[in-house]
Amino acid sequence: MKADLHLHTTTSDGRLAPEALVRLAVEKGLDVIAITDHDSVGGIDDALLAARSFPLLKVIPGVELNTDIANGEVHILGYFVDHLSQELEQTLNSLRQSRGQRARG
């Protein structure tokens, strides 16, 4: 079984739209992928929809959470998230806003 459990789409800092990423995964012979955009679940629905055309590909809904610690940043991957949860979306929105404020200084 071939898998990539840490993929980003254009929803965060990836170079491919969710649909294109799914097609590339199939072309590369992957069996399982996880969409884990930074502080966003916005690309998951499009990836799941695209994957319907490729029934042998399993798409895991995920997220990469960026956290700050005293000596820098830690990235935490979450898998099988409820990407439709309004509570999760609110939390991710807060994280994105906080990251934007830190970047502005």
**Mean pLDDT for the stretch of residues 82-99:** 90
Question: Who contacts 4 (Cβ-Cβ below 8 Å, separation ≥6)?
Answer: 25, 30, 32, 33, 34
3-class state of residue 82 by DSSP: coil
How much is the pLDDT for 71? 76
Backbone φ, ψ for residue 5 (5° rounding): -105, 25
Is pLDDT above 80 for 6?
yes
How many structural domains comprise the chain?
A: 1
DSSP character at residue 5: E
Predicted model pTM: 0.89
Q: What is the pLDDT of residues 34-90, one digit of tens each?
A: 999 999 999 999 999 999 999 999 999 999 998 777 777 788 999 999 999 999 999
Q: What CATH number is associated with residue 20?
A: 3.20.20.140
| Confidence category of residue 97, pLDDT binned at 50, 70, 90 | confident
Angle (CA) 100 43 67, round 5°: 35
Quote the domain boundaries for residue 57: 3-104
Q: Give the pair of three-digit tokens for residue 86.
A: 């309004």
